[in-house]
Structure 1
Amino acid sequence: MTSPALHRVHCPDAQGGHQTAWWQWGDAHAPHVIVCVHGLTRQGRDFDVLAQALLARAAAQGHPLRVVCPDVAGRGESDWLKDPMGYQFPTYVSDALTVVVALHQAAPVGTLDWVGTSMGGLIGLSVAGLPQLPLPAPVRKLVLNDVGPTVQWRALQRIGRYLGQPAVYETVEQGAAAMRALSPGFGPHTDDEWLALSRPMLRPHAQGGWRLHYDPAIAVAYAAITEAAAAEGEQSLWRLYDQVGAATLVLRGAESDLLSRDTAAQMAERGPRAQWVEWAGVGHAPTLIAPDQLAVVLNFLLP
């Protein structure tokens, strides 16, 4: 399977609701579902390489598998929210639950795993750490890619400096180059790899050229985060983490400014006592394209 199928589901909100899109790979009826959720300004096609690698491993094992990669609200093929203050975790977690329920209605979910990069990891942490959520199956395995309950304030400030800034590019290649300059933490990639990552990030602009795929208004709620609020949120996230019953793997770029080594080490000592792996020459966040990164995830999810 070289391309995924696009699906949508209606998600409730105070303004009448919105559509959340997801990209689905593999066997649409497989009871084993792996949900992969992207970072703050990214989208579900970030996981194309990982999804195909998971399907290849599952096929070799004779194991039916669905890999589901949502576009979080305001990103990719999902609707932009009418109220920009909706771009916060209560919306994201509610939408994730709606997607999982829709998957279960389409074909029963027996085993549920989660791979989350940055924001997507915190959504997964919430889903796995709230046992009262009406999931069709508990999260069995949780991969947190360069994120944990403690998020470094300086990294949040760095992201805030470029989040939501309007940009129009004459060509896809120009847009890819601009994103590459903003994303040194993704680590080394070939030009072809970077272009493949970048194409889904761009949309035709009404006046010509190319714009970024996401709603610039996601910056509104983000800008309202204070250092004190972030610290308060950290305590809530640690409480969630301590309630996680899933086997947990933490991935870290050794140069990450968002997930510290100290936080990763704490995650190995409390809650689900995560395994953790880090890669030299990578910051925030590993893209899970390099063979060594893929191997770690595959061996954890499909040993």
Structure 2
Amino acid sequence: MTNQQDFQTFQFSTDDGLMLSGRHYGPDIEQDTIPVVCLAGLTRNGADFHRFALLLSDLDISVVTLDSRGRGQSDRDPSPANYNVMRETQDVLILLKHLGIGKAIFVGTSRGGLLLHVLGNLAPDRIEATVLNDIGPVIEAAGLRAIAAYLGEATIHQRLEDLAAALKIRHGNEFPILDESDWHEMADAISQPTERGLEANFDPGIVAPLKDMDFSQNPPDLWDAFKALTNKPLLVIRGENSLLLSAQTVEQMLEKHPNAKALVAPGQGHAPFLHHPTITAPIIDFIVARGTESRIV
């Protein structure tokens, strides 16, 4: 279970009246430091980054994680149409204002990485560097199809151990490197206790558009939006078994970005656990180097 003494929770109000929730790990956010802001996937929340945030906070790095609207501890939106990348990116800007963050190193997993494509166009000066976790300008239809399939299988479990076992059965082939504690942590992060048992911790309205999506072809690419990220250092992480981000797309990202690096997460699919020891060191090195460079400049 997550130890809430490891972080401070906070809440803030959006300009359309929702109350969103987040976590702050590590030292206070100062004007002369660059915090790390972590944005989660489509139906996930800031708890996904818990162990990763602890690793960074142990190095005296401030880390902020966000439960986007409709996820985790944040309010659900009465208008499901607001579950879109533009609205959610605007929420990120409100988050930065609330915490007094002028510039940050951003880590975006899946949907969170799509928000960073938009943020790079809306407010490029707020980005010190970017980590894209298994997401890029081209989203593979096969990956979306797989996401739609398992989100459509949502069931209620009475025990966290049962949910963890179900997750392992569903995703184990993609993530052979994970151990029992990883599956248990995933179960804890994505569920909430209700009168009926443990249920998914997100608004079902978020995934409604997937039901009507045409998976016969890839959605429109985001190469034009990606250009806004090419002025700042970038680390691209791809799960070795990912169906959402192809190796070919990663190669093209490196070709188009003058200061980008790529990292493959062995034994993981979509989306990699950032705290796994096989990939932690280079991710932390990238973040620490960017923070150091910002203070020198």
TM-score by length of 1: 0.86
Q: What residue number does 1:121 align with?
A: 113
Cα separation, partners in 2 of 1:203 and 1:250, compared to 1, 3 Å: same
Q: Give structure 2 stretches of 5+ with no counterpart.
A: 290-297
Aligned to 2:295: none
Alpha-carbon distance in 2 for matches of 1:203, 1:37: 19
Q: 1:287 aligns to what?
A: 273
Deviations 1:134-176 (A, max 9, x none): x7x5211100011100010111111112325542111111112
**Contact in 1 for aligned 2:167/2:183 (Cα 8 Å):** no
State how 1:223-242 maps to structure 2 within 5 Å.
223-226=211-214, 231-232=219-220, 234=221, 237-242=222-227
Q: Give the Cα separation in 1 of the matches to 2:189 and 2:19.
A: 19
TM-score (norm 2): 0.88
Residues 1-303 of structure 1 correspond to what in structure 2 (within 5 A)?
A: 3-13=6-16, 17-30=17-30, 31-57=33-59, 59=60, 65-104=61-100, 109-128=101-120, 130=121, 132-133=122-123, 137-163=125-151, 165-184=153-172, 185-207=174-196, 209-226=197-214, 231-232=219-220, 234=221, 237-244=222-229, 245-303=231-289
Work out the CA distance in 1 between the residues paired with 2:150 and 2:180.
Answer: 23
Letter in 2 for 1:242: K
How many residue pairs get aligned? The number is 282
| CA–CA distance in structure 1, aligned partners of residues 171 and 9 of structure 2 | 27
Question: How high is the sequence identity, in percent, across the aligned residues?
Answer: 29
One-letter amino acid of the counterpart of residue 48, structure 1: H
Q: Is the 1:41–1:214 contact (alpha carbons within 8 Å) kept by the matching residues of 2?
A: yes
Deviation (angstroms), 1:194? 2.2
**Residue type of the partner of 1:261?**
A
1:211–1:51 Cα change, 3 Å: same
Does the 8 Å contact 2:86/2:118 carry over to 1? no
Check whether the contact 1:32–1:112 (CA below 8 A) recurs between aligned residues.
yes
Q: Residues 84 and 221 of structure 1 are in contact (CA less than 8 Å); yes or no, is this contact kept in structure 2?
A: no
With 150-159 and 219-228 compared, the bigger mean Cα shift is at: 219-228
AA of the residue aligned to 1:264: V
Find the aligned partners of 2:186 and 2:151 in 1 and give their Cα distance: 18
Distance 2:175 2:15 in 1: 34
